[in-house]
Amino acid sequence: MANDSLLEVYLVENMQLLDRLESVLLECDKKSTFSPEDIADIFRILHTVKGSSAMMNFDSIANLSHALEDLFDFLRSHSSRREDHQKIIDLMFNSLDLIKAEISKIQTGGMPDADVSDIIREVRSYLQILTNRKPDPPAEQAVPNVTLEGGQELTGEESAYKAHVIFQPECKMENIRALGLVKSIEPMCAAIVTEPADLFSDHSDDEIIANGFTVYMLSMETQEALSKKIRETFFIQSLTVEELSPEEKARVFGGKKTDVQPDQEAASAASAASRAAENTSTAAQSYLSVKLSKLDALMDIVGEIVITEATVTKNPQVMALKLESFEKASRQLQKLTEELQDIVMSIRMVPVSATFHKMERIVRDMSNKGGKKARLEIIGEDTELDKNVLDNLSDPLMHLIRNSMDHGMETAEERVKLGKDHVGTIRLEARNSGSDVLITVSDDGRGLNKEKLIDKGIALGLIKKPRAEVTDKEAYSLVFAPGFSTKEQVTEFSGRGVGMDVVKRNIENIGGSLSVDSTPGKGMSVVMQIPLTLAIIDGMQVSVGGSPFIIPLLSIRESFKPQKGDCFCDPDGREMIWLRGNCYPIIRLHQEFGIDTPITDLEQGILVTIEAQEQVYCLFVDELVGEQKTVVKPIPPYILKALVGNKRLAGGTILGDGSISLILDINAFIQ
């Protein structure tokens, strides 16, 4: 296996490239055409993947990328026909899936060993069909990024420039990045000379690290245009570009055409991100890739600092001394700790855009295979979530999108008869809501059939009450029951009753909740309420029978001492309270956890009004202790076993005095 650091760079940069390639292909699929810019972008990506894979001796990926590169090299100089588009797109997506599968093997410590001969043969055969056609006239401006040919003549009107580049320390593969830089500016230049001249010698890396990389350019472009293009290369620490005098121009170039030989093209490896990122400005050079494991470790340390700070500042013995200087210092320490926590949290936050756009492929594939046409509309893709939370969101979203396509969408003929657009719409939306993010998956399909859901629920024994008493919410929530499916015919996408229950379980595992709504004939929507982070929350500490509990602060609407006349029981015997014109249920925390407490009369304790999933209820506790910065710790498995049947805990935390407090899952109290 290759050098670990080199392999890590390869994996990161090529996964970025493949994600970019998928996005470009999806856009081309929507437009039903390949623009010259799209062809050039796809060609550059394939060229880089081929070169870097060849350098790493991953032959299956390199050979497949090479075949696809040849196809798009042909398209760069020949106009394609409309009927070619779908075949090329299908070939590209099939190849892309195979390359991603091979890279997944590498990520898990294996080797890319798939037999790619069949798909290479298919690509080559189709390229042969295109080549054997009568030649079409060259498309105008079809080659925005051509490679220099060996015998190109110079006009004598070009200006000569010298660019000196210093790469960031420890960026790795400096010679390969230098070659990638040369290839990126090659279309803008009539001739190029580099120092060092041989970028593949054993010592070129050391020379570039020690002295930097110099490239001389003969070009009709302006100095500013060349500088801008060079700065698109990642990991540049400094760049100077200057115009050469006529004497220097003659000395450097003379009668030379180019020092970049055509056979070097195959090795323009792993400057992946430099050509994968769109519109990358000089600001990109200030970014640094960091392993997620290091951020996790940093977050753990910050959590321990928060706990230690609380242990020191809230120590009863210290607080009893009433030291003014200590209180001033502790307030400053608390301020700095909160700032450190906020910075670390912001580092871990990533936009949902990448995860959302992956769903476009699912909609596209199901539209082509299932006979139903739909488009994906994305709203709020800049909304950010903790990286760990977002990683657990991809599978639930995939299941929900598939459910909307397979169950929700009508066929094109059905939609036209109903007066709808023959192409359906699935909307994926994200927006902030306090300390949570609300993610909505909705469609404009047929919606849920309440009566059919109830019939299935009764048949499976999931509904015990009379049909007339089943509410819309109860009926719609059946779709998340294990083994529940109204699909009578099993397809490759659904019908086995597996999927929606997994969605619910996965969302609950990251502290989230789900709600579903539907309008028959107009569609359905699923709203996921996801916490921004699972690491640190602001909480309110309460006490019940001497046992401490933490309630997430943003879920608390108010707290108050109830009056006897405001409390009553409904016909089912449930305690309720009349509060400003509304009735809310009362939940006694000591009964939920079987805790003995002398405070059982409502007037003696405190009611905490909780708002969760658009519902409101009141928790009865002995007393409020105070606000608490809470570092969420998972509950140990042996305690979870003892709590079988009680799912009302979201985790635990360590208090300032060293004792342990349980964190309440406020969504779990909703019936």
In this prediction, residue 175 carries a pLDDT of: 78
Domain ranges within the chain, ordered by starting residue: 4-132, 159-286, 292-350, 352-531, 536-669
Query: What is the residue-wise DSSP string for 384-425?
Result: EEEHHHHHTTHHHHHHHHHHIIIIIPPPHHHHHHTTS-SSEE
Fold of 536-669: OB fold (Dihydrolipoamide Acetyltransferase, E2P) (2.40.50)
Residue pLDDT, tens place only, 274-312 = 443 344 333 344 566 677 788 888 888 888 888 888 788
- Closest by CA to 12, choosing from 233, 265, 270, is 270
Which CATH number, 3.30.720, 3.30.160, 1.10.287, 1.10.760, labels domain 292-350? 1.10.287
pTM above 0.75, yes or no: no
Residues 6+ apart with CB under 8 A from 256: 191, 193
CATH 1.20.120.160 applies to domain 4-132: yes
In this prediction, residue 134 carries a pLDDT of: 59
In this prediction, residue 280 carries a pLDDT of: 38
Which CATH number, 3.40.50.880, 2.60.40.350, 3.30.800.10, 3.30.565.10, labels domain 352-531? 3.30.565.10
Check if the beta carbon of residue 448 is closer than 8 Å to that of residue 524.
yes
The 3-state DSSP class for residue 643 equals coil
In this prediction, residue 617 carries a pLDDT of: 92
In this prediction, residue 275 carries a pLDDT of: 41
Beta bridge partners of 376: 426
Residue 255 to residues 149, 192, 195, 218, Cα–Cα distance (Å)? 15, 12, 18, 12
In this prediction, residue 480 carries a pLDDT of: 83
Express as a percent the part of the chain with pLDDT over 70: 85
CA atoms within 13 A of residue 73's CA, in its CB half-sphere = 13
Residue 550 has which token pair? 């933490």
Tell me the CATH architecture of domain 159-286. 2-Layer Sandwich (3.30)
User: What's at 117, amino acid-wise?
Assistant: S
Report the chain (671 residues): mean pLDDT per 10 consecutive residues. Answer: 68 86 88 85 88 85 90 82 82 90 88 89 88 57 35 63 87 78 84 82 77 89 88 84 87 58 38 39 52 82 83 78 85 87 82 88 84 89 85 88 88 89 92 82 90 86 82 84 62 51 82 84 89 76 93 89 86 88 91 90 92 84 88 74 67 79 82 57
Check if the beta carbon of residue 63 is closer than 8 Å to that of residue 120.
yes
Radius of gyration (Cα) for the chain, nearest Å?
31
